[in-house]
Structure 1
Amino acid sequence: MRLLGRLLLAAFALVMAVPAGTLALAAGVFLDPSFREAFGRLGLVGLMAGLTDLADGIPPEVAVMAAFGLAQALGLLLILPPTLAALFGETLGLRSPIWYAAASGGLTALLPWLARGGAAPPSGSEAAAAEARFAAILLLAGAVSGLVYWLIAGRSAGIRSRDETGSA
């Protein structure tokens, strides 16, 4: 019965942690000066017009596959790191907020570099600076999701109830 309760608590904590990480990622992108400047130059109207123009020239099945690919990439980026951190934390009985924040944040920040598969990083100081800023934003988003998980379920990971330990 205790295992079922832990599984439900962990699932609920992950359901809360993923949107928190998503909000942190969105806030980081919109608060970063260079990303904000790019969105300001483009504007929401320009973005919608560009998407409409792009969609006019793309067959529907290609547009659906592109949207599916984007959703898959975001899912991998926002769901996998806190899930892996939670899995290892629960298995090893780790209760440290530092573990959940560092594991989830570090994995989130490393995923784009791991997905690149050893390809050369962008050349030029501006490209390297933009990639470093984006990695910092991903680190923050992952750390937020890890801490939300810890607040809900990680604090009690590995704690056995008094009935199981035999003490009164």
Structure 2
Amino acid sequence: MIRWLILIPFALLIAVGASGTFFLVASVFDPVMALLTGDTLFVGFWSLIDAVFAAEDPGPIVEDAFLAVGRIMFTLLIFPPLLVAIVSEVLGMRSLLWHMLATGILTAAVPWILRGQARIASPEELHVSFVLGLTGAVAGFVYWAIIGGREPRRSEPTAPSSGS
């Protein structure tokens, strides 16, 4: 019971923080991610400023902007490790390979799932998916490392003693 109430939420919190830190570092030091992140933040910031100054009441605009950022963070950083943690705890799958691959593949697939259409990807899109996959793998590794990473020990059934 302690595992469900304390250890799993703590492990998820630390795993999400570690994957967020990895994603931030990758967005700064990786040239493709830095260009994408820089352009997105530049355009997004100035669009927000323009909309705020053009509106009579900027409160809803700022609120919607923060809500959109929160949705993106939840979709990319919180949902994949949370889903994999729930599935692994329910099914009892606790291997390192499972946690890293499942979380990495799910995180890398999020943009493709949300796009909703099939088309050939550009090299930049594949690069972003690779970085997102590594981000998910970091979350899976950290979660696995904190949660214990192995099956809980079960007591061996005792052999019935002979009545002689």
Please tell me the TM-score bracket, short chain as reference. Answer: 0.7 to 0.9
Most deviating of 138-147 and 110-119: 110-119
**Any residues of structure 2 matched to 1:94-105 within 5 Å, and which?**
94-105=93-104
In structure 2, the CA distance between the partners of 1:48 and 1:75, relative to structure 1 (3 Å rule), is closer
User: Equivalences for 1:1-168 in 2 at 5 Å?
Assistant: 4-7=1-4, 8-37=6-35, 50=46, 51-58=48-55, 59-118=58-117, 120=119, 128-156=122-150, 158-162=151-155, 165-166=156-157
Under a length normalisation based on structure 1, what TM-score does the superposition of the two structures give? Answer: 0.78
Q: TM-score, normalised by structure 2?
A: 0.80
Flag the 1:26–1:88 CA change in 2: closer, same or farther, 3 A: same
Using the TM superposition, give the Cα deviation of residue 149 of structure 1 relative to its aligned residue in structure 2, in angstroms.
Answer: 0.2
Query: Percentage identity across aligned positions?
Result: 34
> C-alpha separation between the residues in 1 aligned to 2:141 and 2:30?
22
In structure 2, stretches of 5+ residues that fail to align are 159-164
- Which of structures 1 and 2 has the larger relative contact order (alpha carbons within 8 angstroms, sep 6+)? 1
Task: Say how many residue pairs are matched.
Answer: 154
Unpaired segments ≥5 residues, structure 1: 123-127
Q: CA RMSD of the aligned region, Å?
A: 2.7
* Structure with a larger share of its residues in helix: 1
Q: CA deviation at 1:119?
A: 5.4
Shift of 1:64: 1.1
Shift of 1:121: 5.5
- Please tell me whether Structure 1 or Structure 2 has the larger radius of gyration of its CA atoms: 2
